[in-house]
A and B are shown apart, each in its own frame.
Chain A
């Protein structure tokens, strides 16, 4: 079931980028190439043949780990991608940590104090976070912490300090969403009878909320997490651009600017595969966390 989806993704991306491609021989060969050289080049680059033919050739090469060569840098696309991928993963991971660190406590506080001032403030903050364009937040953070206060670098990839601002930029958007989800999940769980049983047992209120209730409330949050990974990657495209972070997102944006189609195609396909793998992992984790689901699988 996974394979057709991945192949389908690859096809759609390939087809779209194919339209974008035009006739790349001119780009690659330069302005002085003769017509014969162009014909040979077209053959070499595999530009002859129908869309479907070229697609299958592309897939075959992809399975061997070959994503083609960049028009601009003439480097191997797979190599370029793999070089940049760790940076993006680092950013994405840190962003998610930031998001969880902000949203779960905030969501719990909002749920416990439902309809009080604390709840309202938390929800307003969440709403503002959702409504802010992430790249703008990035610019503001850069303005404050980098340019005015000088605490953190405004770009580049040297050391841990330079990943903080980009991670917060991406993390806040996710945090806004997760806060609302946590709150609503907690509210659902706080209504449940089994909490009353726990209280009647003499369990302290603290343990009722943070052990009994939270454990149940986290389950739907994990699902959302998986879905949001796609958005985190999207957000990191912007953050990488603002903070000159050398990740995959910036690779794509720069490549588009230079009409370096193989790089864009390769990066998009690889990124989508990454998202699909992460979603799969989340599904597995979900089964472990909810014993009712685990039971279904062990049967």
Chain B
């Protein structure tokens, strides 16, 4: 009975600690107007992406060709005009958010999981393993990420999933470094030694004791990386190596618009604005999180 209540107390105190530090972060974040703007924009974009299928029917609105309506400048009917196949650009942009956000988030999640696991293990085990992992990390960093992603896509073939993998792989290195640095910082602490002394297996120590300390750094990295992942995805689609047509990915829309840039400049304007606003929102939020989570940072 006493044991059970002890465990409950510990669990309760852990929850309390987590909630109060979350509150503190939120309070700090609230003070940062830029971060709030970013959060606001991001929520709107996510909501837009989620409800898109209910507003537009994919077959008719997004990819359905309507030759009579092609190449129309922005009007009340078509806020962003229509493209070379008569499709409403605004509808394609709203729908395109699904692809950009999906690729961005999933790529970063892949990079986060793989990178953090590798980095934390490398930092904890040390020795040859750590050396090898860090060398490989350096290797990946010397290849420009665009080229790396291009190489992976050409190896695996063109598809949305492969795009996620490619962008994910080229984003992994920073996570490995952050995780390893965080682990190295904490590894010498006494409570880690204590956990080891009572026979707790290594992997459990890492997950339970060490990782919670790295969480804030990883969150900041992740938020900032989603932005660059979205840009990378757009870059690859622009080059024809990303999400295959006729999917309304913002990068491929820009690639198509490029052909008509001289006479129909609106086609290159709106998808680019969409990318910029999304990445801006993520950067604002990421910056705000970094300032809120880092106690040392003074302005």
Contacts and interface: CB of A to CB of B under 8 A. Distances in A.
Please say whether the chains A and B touch (CB closer than 8 A): yes
Interface of A: 4-5, 8-9, 12-13, 16-17, 19-20, 114-115, 127-128, 130-136, 139-140, 142-143, 147, 227, 230-231, 233-235, 237-238, 241-242, 252-253, 256-257, 259, 264, 268, 271-272, 275-276, 279
B139 interface: yes
Given A131-B279, A133-B235, A136-B272, A8 B254 contact: no
Main secondary structure of the interface of B (DSSP, over half): helix
Given A20-B154, A127-B283, A237 B147 contact: yes
Contacts of A235: 146
B101 to A, nearest CB: 15
Nearest to B240: A257
B243 to A, nearest CB: 15
Contacts of B140: 12
A252 B142 contact: no
Given A133-B235, A253-B239, A5 B147 contact: no
B276 A128 contact: yes
Given A130-B283, A234-B144, 15 more contacts: A4-B135, A5-B135, A127-B280, A128-B276, A131-B276, A132-B275, A133-B254, A139-B254, A139-B261, A234-B146, A235-B146, A238-B238, A242-B258, A268-B143, A279-B142
Given A147-B261, A271-B144, A276-B142, A256 B150 contact: yes
B144 A237 contact: yes
B284 A127 contact: yes
Nearest to A10: B139
A13 B143 contact: yes
B144 A233 contact: yes
22 contacts: A5-B142, A8-B139, A19-B155, A19-B156, A131-B276, A131-B279, A132-B272, A132-B279, A133-B275, A135-B235, A136-B254, A136-B275, A139-B272, A230-B141, A230-B143, A234-B146, A238-B238, A264-B154, A272-B142, A275-B143, A276-B142, A279-B142
Given A139-B254, A139-B272, A12 B139 contact: yes
B262 interface: yes
Interface string B128-151: 000000011011111111110011
**Chain B interface extent, by class:** 35 or more
Contact of A133 (B136, B151, B231, B241): B231
Contacts of B238: 133, 135, 238, 241
B299 interface: yes
A147 B262 contact: yes
A272 B143 contact: yes
Contacts of B144: 230-231, 233-234, 237, 271, 275
A202 to B, nearest CB: 30
A189 B60 CA distance: 59
